[in-house]
Amino acid sequence: MPYRYRKLDLSIALFIAAIIFVFSFLESYAETVEELKVKIESSTNSIDALEKQISELNSKIGTYSGQAKTLKNTIASLEATRKKIELETKSTEAKITRTNLLIKSLGDNITDQEETIDSYKARLTEAFKEIAKIDSTTIITTLLEAGTVSDLNAQVENIARLDESLRDRIVKLNETKNSLEKNKNTTETERTKLNSLKQTLNDQKKIAASAKTIQETILKQTQNEEATYKRLLIQKQKEKDDVERELVKQESALKITLDQSRLPETKKGVLSWPLNGVIKITQKFGDTDFSKAHSAVYNGKGHNGIDLGGSIGTPILSAESGAVKGTGDTDLTCQGASYGKWVLVEHSNGLSSLYAHLSLIKVSTGQSVAKGQTLGYMGQTGYSTGPHLHFTIYATEGVKIGSLKSKVKGCGVYTIPIASLNAYLNPEDYL
């Protein structure tokens, strides 16, 4: 066999060996990918099952909120809430497991793609060298080495096929490189999700501990007696009315003339709802049945916000971007008589928003927040006969954070948003 043919056969043999190596490598890689896919699918199924149970418990908790306020119903609601948070914690743990598996899968894929690219490059380099040798051979030498015209045609066709195969491999090399970059970007996204999930898990554990404390406190205060619970509710209602009356008196003294031109047009969509999913308004703004029943407290001005029902641990979202003007917890100095844990956000459109009765606050004074950012979680701190969000909208120039010195027994000086009565606006005008 002429040396010319031997060189050509050697280059083709090297190229074929490279392909066999790459495909055998990818075959072993596929086994690992399949194992990870099975684990990821298992985690997803677990999450779906947990989310279904959580949804069922949320419905159950909602049913309790519509029932008579008895010790039995309150404890049952708190027990359902505790189980719901426990399931949410398990769901978050499963999501963390799934995300870790996804990151591992992407990491393995990235490593293998990098090794595949290196392998392609090495084998292609060898093949290009062989082609370069072929290209350097003169036409006369090729003609002399070819035994017949048929041999010459076969040699030319082999060279053409090799050249075409190399072009295909270069295209696949570029495709693998692009896929590699995409996987790297996806990995960074998944790592961000993982950090967020870990923070959520930490929050859920704190909320669970808080819910358990509420349940234990009620049982301790009532000694599991319905009559004692009824007396406790009456006492808390009186304290709440007294504190509200003090606040209204102080706010009535604020005579602030508002510049209406600084307020946005009253239309839907100026603000976003502070909760995701189905919105349930349990008490509206202004003259509601509740405010009419306590007219002395509201000074004829009605309910100063809207109440949105839900369950403990529901994320509370900022209705618009802005800056946190202040946070506080009235329970520290006046247990169960006012807003409990609250956050006030000042927006750039002339409005400020208040979020009260939170179980956990996630922001701090001066912090910039984005629209839809989690400010905290729904709870039943302060005066709250069940979990809900009290949501108030103010004209910014008419509200400030002040100190209220209470004369109510057991209460002291507490920090709270204070506004002139004309600064309270109906949230539904902007949502």
pLDDT of the chain along its 431 residues, tens only?
A: 444 444 444 444 444 444 444 444 444 444 477 888 888 999 999 999 999 999 998 888 888 877 778 999 888 888 999 999 999 999 999 999 999 999 888 888 777 777 777 776 676 676 666 666 655 554 445 545 555 556 545 555 665 565 566 666 666 666 777 777 788 888 899 999 999 999 999 999 999 998 888 888 889 988 989 999 999 888 888 888 888 888 888 888 888 888 989 999 999 999 999 999 888 999 999 864 544 444 443 444 578 999 999 899 999 999 999 999 999 999 998 888 899 999 999 999 999 999 999 999 999 999 999 999 999 999 999 988 788 999 999 999 999 999 888 888 878 888 999 999 899 999 999 99
Query: What is the Cα–Cα distance from 217 to 198, expressed in whole angstroms?
Result: 29
Within its chain, how far is the Cα of 174 from the centroid? Answer: 35
- Domains in the chain, ordered, with CATH? 3-211 (1.20.1050), 233-429 (2.70.70.10)
Distances (CA, A) of 255 to 189, 262, 418, 423: 51, 18, 12, 10
Query: What is the Cα–Cα distance from 302 to 293, expressed in whole angstroms?
Result: 10
The whole-model pTM stands at 0.78
Helix, strand, coil distribution of the chain in percent, nearest 5: 60, 15, 25
- β partners of residue 354: 344, 392
Phi, psi of 105, rounded to the nearest 5 degrees: -60, -45
Cβ contact 316:354 at 8 Å: no
The one-letter amino acid at 369: V
Q: Which tokens is 49 given?
A: 């099952």
Q: Which tokens is 123 given?
A: 């084998």
The one-letter amino acid at 100: N
Q: Which residues contact 186 (CB under 8 A, 6 or more apart)?
A: 106
For the beta carbon of residue 51, count every other beta carbon within 10 angstroms: 14
* DSSP classification of residue 353: E
Q: Which tokens is 173 given?
A: 């090399």
